[in-house]
Amino acid sequence: MSQHYITRIQAINTHPKRKKFIGKNACLDIHGYNIDEKIIKIYTNTNYVGIGVCNLKQEQLNNLLGKYILNGNSCSINDEVKKILGYQTMAIWDLLGHINNKPVYKLLSNNYNKFTEVYDGSIYFLDLIPENKYIWKERLKNEIDIALELGHTNFKIKVGRGHKWMSQIEGFKRDIEFINEIYGYIKSNVKIGIDANNGYTLDEVKEFLRIVEGKVIFLEEMFPEEEKEYAELKEFILQNNYDILIADGESWKNLEEAKLHIESQKIDVLQANIINFGIEGILEEAKLGKQYGNMVAPHGWGTYLGYFVNLHLGKVLDNYYMAEHDPLYNDLVNVVEYKIVNGRAIVPNVPGFGFSINENKLEKKDIIFDIQL
C-alpha cells in the first residue's frame, strides 16, 4: 500500500453567489447575493488532491505538512491529523475518497440510503425589500417557481417579522399570510418548516400553531433555548396532537453543549452547524441523539460546499431528517452534478465529494497562503 503524506496546502478565499437577493430574517438585516467561504486544497506525494472548507489558520495547518493521512487502513484518518484539524476534516475526507476511488458516503458505511431529503432554506422576508412592498405575493410565487424548477418540494420559511421590523400584530399577521400563500400556491406534496431566529415568544408560537395546524412540519429556533419554555412547548404540542417537530442547535459550539440539550429531551431535530461540527461531530451527535429518539438536520446555511457534505451524511445516517439547501453557485469550485428530484437529492457515485478547482478562474488575490514541504 502506498504511503500518502501531505506535501502542500493552499488556502483559497472563494465567493459563492446566489441567483436571487436574500432579504432580512427576524434578527439580521439584508443577506444579499454573496458569501465568503475559505477552502483548503491539500496535495499529497502520491498526486492525490482533497478540497474542503476549513477555517483554521496557517500556523495550525503548518503542522499538517509531512503528516501521513491514513490510520491503519485506507478509510481512516490518521489520529495525529485528526488532532490537528479537529472537526475541520472535509478536505481529508475528499482526499480519502480519491485515494479509494469511492464517494465519501461509501467510506463512512456499507449501508446507505437511496435518497437524502432536502429543503430550500432561502425564503426570507422578501416582502420587506422596498421594491417588493406591493408585489410581494407575485415575487413569492416567482421564488417558489425557481425552487420547484430545482426539484424542491420542501421549504423552510423565515418568520418573526414582528420581532424587529414590523409591529408585533402586523408582523405576526404577515408571517401567517406567507405560510398560507405558499401552501395555497403549491397545493399538494409540500412540506413547510418555519424558522423564527429566536424572534417569537412562547405565546406567539402557541397562537401560530393554532392557526396553521397541519401546514407546518417543524419549528426551528422559535425562541432562545430555555428548558422551561421548551418543556411547555413540547407539552402543548403533545396535548393538541400536533404532528410537528421542534428543531434547534445551530448555535451550539461543541458536542458537550449539544449533549445537554439532547439529554433534556425537549428537541426533536438536532441542528449542529455542519462547518463547526464537521463529519465526525455530526456522526457523534447523531449517535447520541439516536439514543433519545432524535433526528439530525445539520445547519447548512451560508456554505456552498457544506451542503454536499450534508448529503453524504444523509446517505448513511438512519436518523437523518433533511438537508438544508442554500442555493449558491461558485465559478471557482467545480462540483459534479448533484440532482434534486421531488425534494430528494441524488448523490453522484464519484470519488470524494466531487470537488475540483477551476484553475482558469483562480487569481492571485484569491490565495490566502500556499505552504509546502
pLDDT in tens, 177-207: 999 999 999 877 889 999 999 999 999 999 9
Q: Which domain holds residue 301?
A: 116-353
Say whether both 266 and 362 belong to one domain: no
d(C-alpha 2, C-alpha 7), whole Å: 15
| Complete DSSP assignment for 2-21 | PPPBEEEEEEEEE--EEEEE
Helix (H, G, I), strand (E, B) or coil at 135: coil
pLDDT digits (tens, 9 = 90+) for 105-143: 999 999 988 889 999 999 999 999 999 999 999 999 999
Res 227 pLDDT > 90: no
Query: Residue 25 domain-assigned?
Result: yes
Residue 279 and residue 171 share a domain: yes
Say if residue 153's pLDDT is above 80. Answer: yes
Averaged pLDDT for residues 292-313: 97
Can you tell me the mean pLDDT for 13-28?
A: 96
Res. 164: pLDDT tops 70: yes
- Alpha-helical (H) ranges within the chain are 58-61, 79-85, 90-100, 104-108, 136-150, 168-186, 202-212, 227-239, 255-264, 274-291, 305-316
CA dist 327 and 106 (Å) reads 25
pLDDT at 173 over 70: yes
| Residues 175 and 217 reside in one and the same domain | yes
Do both 229 and 338 map to the same domain?
yes
The CATH number of whichever domain residue 137 belongs to comes to 3.20.20.120
How sure is the predictor about 1, in pLDDT bands with cuts at 50, 70 and 90?
low
Q: From CA 309, how far away is CA 58, in angstroms rounded? A: 23
pLDDT over 80 (residue 2): no
276 domain residue, yes or no: yes
Whether residues 192 and 249 fall in one domain: yes
At 188 the pLDDT is: 73
Say what the pLDDT of residue 70 is. Answer: 85
The pTM score is 0.95
Structure confidence by residue, pLDDT tens digits, 53-102: 999 999 999 999 999 998 777 778 999 999 999 999 999 999 999 999 99
